[in-house]
């Protein structure tokens, strides 16, 4: 096991650690200075393609409307002089599932669909090589760091795995799922399944045109009235099943404000894409997504349930998928759909694996406790479901070497 020395001292709103010409600090969001915010914006410009949800403009709204500032700490890795190398919002949790096991957990805002740290390209290993020893030195009762919704193909995830393997640090995948995506150069129609899906949707679109008038899709590339689009989206979503279930954005002040602010901020910084499908001018489905660098990320979609038999959400998804496939230069696109949401998966042609993982931190005693917790979790899962299959080989456990 490698040991790296940190000097730790107290600072307002958090702790500060120094190693060589780099530093790590825990900072409350409310204590960020104007210089900090400028450095976060600079980091977003340089590293934002990996995770748009960790960029400064999205996280500013997320922390204002979705975070408890008394609990959240920003783990900031920076160079001498203040340039940020990476940032990851964290919260302390007292339980890991059903077990009383204090640990740090990556914080996710509502409607944030990727939890990767925002890190400068090429500095992924350096980020973990600084942050993990800092957490070791700063650990109180915490025995682990839980990272949520990491993309398995992201260099930051590969660097974390390699770092844990290299120093024998306990590492475990605790959840995974695949969601629809498109990689540059993929089959634009998604193979035979995509051809069949598109044929079915073209038939539905012709029937919609016959019954309710001409169908059109507006990609809102002109400035237009963004606030009017937001109002229409919120009303459409609330009128459907999400409204009845109390989970629509407009059912809660915080989620409504978050949506309004990130759509406005995303549009102002050129990151937002929007689309509306209409029949005879009536909006039937609306969708939004973000594009940064060579990456695209789905955000929110709503449809008019009075037209459910025409599958307007899927009709719009086909047009969005075709729009993405036609972008030049081509981009990677992550639909950001939730686990189990398989509608029109064949339209995208690819998939992206998303994982939750947990990493051992702290003293040898605490790492021993981490290993015991993982064994207890294994026993429990086997008892609950004796037929549970093991993780695929490429997502195997990395055992701590002692």
pLDDT digits (tens, 9 = 90+) for 148-159: 999 999 999 999
State the greatest distance between any 2 C-alpha atoms of the chain, in Å, as a whole number.
72
- Number of H helices and E strands in the chain, helices first, is 10, 15
If one counts the domains in the chain, the total is: 2
Short-list 154, 107, 136, 201, CA closest to 2: 136
CATH of the domain at 194: 3.40.630.30
pLDDT digits (tens, 9 = 90+) for 53-84: 999 999 999 999 987 656 899 999 999 889 99
- Assign 385 a pLDDT band (cuts: 50, 70, 90): confident
pLDDT digits (tens, 9 = 90+) for 264-286: 999 999 999 999 999 999 999 99
pLDDT of residue 21: 85
pLDDT of residue 60: 94
pLDDT of residue 342: 62
Q: Is residue 50 part of a domain?
A: yes
Mean pLDDT of 175-181: 94
Are 77 and 171 part of one and the same domain?
A: yes
- 317: domain range? 182-350
What the block records as the tokens of 402 is: 């002692």
Phi-psi category of residue 340: left, alpha or beta, with phi > 0 → left and psi -120 to 50 → alpha: left
C-alpha to C-alpha distance for 146 and 111, rounded to whole angstroms: 19
Task: Name the DSSP class of 2.
Answer: -
Task: Please say whether the beta carbons of 272 and 261 come within 8 A.
Answer: no
Are 194 and 225 part of one and the same domain?
A: yes
pLDDT digits (tens, 9 = 90+) for 21-33: 899 999 999 999 9
Are 162 and 236 part of one and the same domain?
A: no
Global pTM?
0.88
C-alpha to C-alpha distance for 319 and 347, rounded to whole angstroms: 10
C-alpha to C-alpha distance for 51 and 149, rounded to whole angstroms: 11
pLDDT of residue 399: 41
Q: What are phi and psi of 115, to 5 degrees?
A: -115, 15
pLDDT digits (tens, 9 = 90+) for 290-333: 999 999 999 999 999 999 999 999 999 999 999 999 999 999 99
Q: Is residue 140 part of a domain?
A: yes
């Amino acid at each position: 096991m490698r040991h790296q020395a940190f000097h730790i001292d107290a600072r307002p709103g958090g702790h500060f650690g120094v190693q060589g010409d780099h530093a790590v600090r825990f900072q409350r969001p409310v204590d960020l200075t104007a210089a900090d915010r400028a450095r976060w914006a600079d980091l977003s410009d340089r590293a934002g393609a990996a995770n748009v949800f960790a960029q400064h403009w999205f996280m500013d709204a997320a922390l204002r409307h979705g975070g408890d500032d008394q609990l959240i700490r920003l783990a900031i890795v920076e160079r001498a002089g203040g340039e940020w190398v990476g940032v990851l919002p964290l919260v302390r949790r007292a339980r890991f599932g059903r077990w009383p096991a204090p640990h740090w957990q990556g914080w996710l805002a509502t409607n944030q669909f990727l939890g990767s740290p925002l890190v400068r390209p090429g500095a992924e290993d350096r980020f973990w090589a600084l942050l993990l020893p800092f957490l070791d030195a700063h650990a109180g009762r915490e025995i682990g760091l839980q990272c949520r919704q990491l993309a398995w193909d992201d260099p930051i995830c590969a660097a974390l795995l390699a770092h844990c393997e290299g120093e024998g640090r306990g590492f475990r995948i605790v959840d995974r799922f695949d969601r629809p995506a498109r990689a540059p150069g993929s089959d634009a129609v998604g193979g035979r399944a995509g051809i069949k899906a598109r044929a079915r949707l073209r038939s539905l679109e012709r029937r919609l045109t016959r019954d309710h008038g001409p169908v059109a899709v507006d990609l809102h590339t002109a400035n237009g009235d963004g606030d009017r689009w937001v109002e229409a989206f919120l009303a459409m979503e609330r009128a459907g099943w999400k409204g009845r279930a109390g989970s629509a954005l407009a059912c809660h002040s915080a989620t409504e404000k978050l949506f309004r602010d990130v759509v406005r901020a995303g549009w102002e910084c050129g990151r937002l894409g929007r689309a509306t499908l209409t029949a005879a001018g009536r909006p039937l489905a609306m969708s939004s997504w973000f594009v940064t660098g060579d990456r695209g990320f789905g955000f929110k979609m709503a449809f008019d349930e009075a037209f459910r038999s025409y599958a307007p959400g899927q009709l719009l998804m086909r047009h969005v998928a075709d729009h993405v496939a036609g972008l030049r230069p081509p981009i990677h696109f992550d639909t950001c759909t939730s686990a189990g949401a398989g509608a029109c998966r064949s339209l995208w042609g690819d998939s992206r694996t998303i994982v939750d993982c947990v990493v051992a931190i702290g003293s040898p005693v605490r790492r021993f406790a981490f290993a015991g917790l993982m064994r207890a979790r294994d026993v429990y899962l086997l008892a609950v479901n004796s037929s549970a299959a093991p993780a695929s080989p490429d997502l195997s456990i990395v055992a701590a070497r002692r």
